[in-house]
A and B are shown apart, each in its own frame.
Chain A
């Protein structure tokens, strides 16, 4: 079991967030974006691993064999999305966000609480500025604080309020279930990343973009335990300063009867993987998993 993304994540966080965020906030989005071109080029030229995993990923989703400029565009998108996160978290830039919400998603979350399932694709942060904000639905994020330590430090500086709402998942088990339940009881919606597998974690294998891929089982077990709806959300970067916020009910309730728990679990995860794949094919450069996703 590897966890290569853990290294990459920290690297990406350091590079795109830590080094740029002071300049970003001081100079503004338009000025700092100019830096992203040479920065992306430098990154593509110096990291053979990034080139390889990007190319392998793009081969799955592009209609033509990926070329160097496709890889460059992919890395540039990643840098751009990472930089925008600084502005989103500090609410210091008026992004144009188009909301594409499925029927009743927000109402359901408001009435019954909900888990928002998120992938490392685009920028989930755009969800905060639309309907959730209007409906005064506080959003709390489940995150392994040990893995995202540097991200947490950056977040604490950029937006202490969001940082304080983070639910630490480093110690999974009973405590996490109880914490999430308490958050839902206090009328928050709870978001969690559901695409990356942590070392030693139980996984579910499904079809995803042309071959088998493994996803973590725990978000689904958690949703089943808490008997809350699962809402899938995608904050997709459309270029420039435009984002689309998608949100849709995946299921109102996850039921995993003991007798065929594994089969049912696979059915839910496959349904999610299909939705994710559809989004990814529509906006392939939003994918920010720069590691061999299919080998995780």
Chain B
């Protein structure tokens, strides 16, 4: 069991397909693992990926993430935090 909620799994799939990630299994990824930076274990994403994710979220969920928003910066820490923010913003 991966401990992913269904929302988290869906978000992981959105990210994996938007970025063409081959090293991440969307259905078994650790939701608390850091998205950015070189630390292991981690997704190892960079700022190019950040913008792609923002665009993918906009397309998939209709949620627009903007600058100068501390909760957006925090949400990009992990899959779990990001999923949480997006579901809050959708509500």
Contacts and interface: CB of A to CB of B under 8 A. Distances in A.
Interface of A: 171-179, 181-182, 202, 218, 221-222, 224-226, 256, 258
Contacts of A179: 67-68
Interface residues of B, number: 19
Contacts of B67: 175-176, 178-179, 181-182
Interface in B29-80: 36, 46-52, 54, 65-69, 72-73, 76
Contacts of B68: 175, 179
Nearest to B35: A174
A222 B66 CA distance: 16
B73 to A, nearest CB: 5
Interface of B: 19-20, 36, 46-52, 54, 65-69, 72-73, 76
Given A174-B65, A178-B51, A256-B48, 19 more contacts: A173-B47, A173-B73, A173-B76, A174-B54, A174-B72, A174-B76, A175-B72, A176-B47, A177-B47, A178-B66, A179-B67, A181-B51, A181-B67, A182-B66, A221-B46, A221-B48, A222-B47, A225-B47, A258-B19
26 contacts: A172-B47, A173-B36, A173-B76, A174-B73, A175-B67, A175-B69, A175-B72, A176-B47, A177-B51, A178-B51, A178-B54, A178-B65, A178-B66, A179-B67, A181-B51, A202-B46, A218-B47, A221-B46, A221-B47, A222-B47, A225-B51, A225-B52, A226-B51, A256-B48, A258-B19, A258-B20
B85 to A, nearest CB: 11
Contacts of A256: 48
Contacts of B51: 174, 177-178, 181, 225-226
A172 B48 CA distance: 12
B58 to A, nearest CB: 11
B48 A171 contact: no
A174 B47 contact: yes
B50 A174 contact: yes
A285 B54 CA distance: 44
